């Protein structure tokens, strides 16, 4: 584990670290905020998965989450969204390749060598974090924005009992029925659409739901609404009678102005589950 930077923030420490990843075959960078309580023992943790074109830095700098996390004594983890490097495959489009890992394990060439973000986020990075930092494995929650909201929801529903709560900001809700999903799944996972279902929050909601509280915020003026398909997930939640809140926020778009506006409420929501 290499320390890139550590800065005092809200009584705790905002760090940036890198390590060699077996899952991706590259060096991976992540941000980690530890509140003051981490100096005395293990603290609960909230994972935050970012969206298309983002690195670990976007939410770490723009979301304002550290202030609220410090008040309730929880850590924040900001992973990167994909492997990176000169030898890592890429695409000219912003929504495929580096910065667009979609939190899946690619099975198709040339992506399959490096693009194993599912294993990285669900297995390798947690193992490294719990070994190196004072984070409580038994007290985890997860959130994310856009592509990261898709990742947070699908991961939470795929690992029953691991996360005490899940939230999302403008998630990609039904990727198997959207150009933000069909394009990437075809490239990463191949033409067999049956294999895509494990990474679709709407389909997972219909199949198994989530064993804890959920909170989803979606702006009504989001320029990507047709790609996100929030109505599909909201309908699946209602059909399943899933406990949770799906809030349409009038006038908000897809930006970090939207995310930062409601970040305090999301951190408080997760703190209620993590500190129960």
Q: Is residue 146 annotated as a catalytic residue, yes or no?
A: yes
Reported as a single tens digit per residue, the pLDDT across 62-91 is 999 999 999 999 999 999 999 999 999 999
Q: How far is CA 273 from CA 15, 212, 235, in A?
A: 25, 9, 25
User: Choosing from 143, 150, 222, 266, which is the catalytic residue?
Assistant: 222
Confidence of residue 48 (pLDDT cuts 50, 70, 90): very high
Residues with Cβ within 8 Å of 51's Cβ and at least 6 positions away in sequence, in order, are 58, 81, 144, 145, 146, 147, 148, 149
Reported as a single tens digit per residue, the pLDDT across 136-167 is 999 999 999 999 999 999 999 999 999 999 99
Nearest to 24 by CA among 121, 92, 127: 121
User: Choosing from 146, 165, 167, 178, which is the catalytic residue?
Assistant: 146
User: Choosing from 56, 150, 199, 254, which is the catalytic residue?
Assistant: 254
Q: Is residue 211 annotated as a catalytic residue, yes or no?
A: no
Tell me, yes or no, if the pTM score tops 0.85: yes
Average pLDDT of span 105-112:
98
Q: Are 33 and 12 in contact (CB under 8 A)?
A: yes
Residue 263 reports pLDDT greater than 80: yes
Q: How far apart are the C-alpha atoms of 82 and 249, rounded to whole Å?
A: 29
Residues with Cβ within 8 Å of 64's Cβ and at least 6 positions away in sequence, in order, are 260, 263, 264
Q: Are 171 and 152 in contact (CB under 8 A)?
A: yes
Reported as a single tens digit per residue, the pLDDT across 203-254 is 999 999 999 999 999 999 999 999 999 999 999 999 999 999 999 999 999 9
Q: How far is CA 260 from CA 101, 114, 255, in A?
A: 23, 31, 9
Q: Is residue 143 annotated as a catalytic residue, yes or no?
A: no
């Amino acid at each position: 584990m290499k320390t890139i930077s550590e800065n005092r923030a809200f009584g705790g420490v905002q760090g940036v670290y890198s390590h060699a990843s077996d899952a991706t075959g590259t060096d991976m960078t992540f941000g980690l905020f530890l509140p003051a309580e981490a100096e005395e023992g293990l603290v609960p943790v909230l994972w935050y998965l970012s969206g298309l074109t983002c690195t670990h830095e976007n939410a770490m700098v723009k979301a304002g989450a550290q202030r609220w996390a410090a008040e309730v004594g929880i850590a924040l983890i900001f992973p990167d969204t994909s492997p990176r490097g000169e030898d890592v495959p890429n695409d000219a489009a912003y929504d495929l390749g580096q910065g667009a890992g979609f939190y899946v394990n690619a099975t198709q060439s040339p992506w399959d060598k490096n693009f194993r973000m599912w294993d990285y986020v669900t297995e390798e990075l947690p193992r490294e974090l719990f070994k190196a930092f004072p984070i409580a494995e038994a007290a985890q929650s997860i959130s994310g924005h856009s592509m990261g909201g898709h990742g947070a929801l699908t991961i939470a529903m795929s690992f029953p009992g691991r996360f005490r709560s899940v939230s999302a900001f403008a998630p990609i809700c039904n990727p198997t029925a959207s150009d933000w999903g069909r394009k990437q799944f075809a490239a990463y996972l191949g033409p067999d659409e049956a294999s895509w279902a494990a990474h679709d929050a709407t389909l997972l909601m219909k199949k198994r739901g989530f064993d804890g509280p959920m909170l989803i915020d979606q702006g009504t003026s989001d320029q990507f609404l047709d790609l996100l398909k929030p109505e599909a997930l909201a309908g699946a939640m209602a059909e399943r009678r899933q406990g949770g809140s799906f809030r349409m926020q009038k006038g908000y778009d897809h930006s970090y102005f939207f995310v930062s506006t409601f970040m305090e409420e999301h951190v408080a929501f997760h703190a209620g589950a993590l500190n129960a």
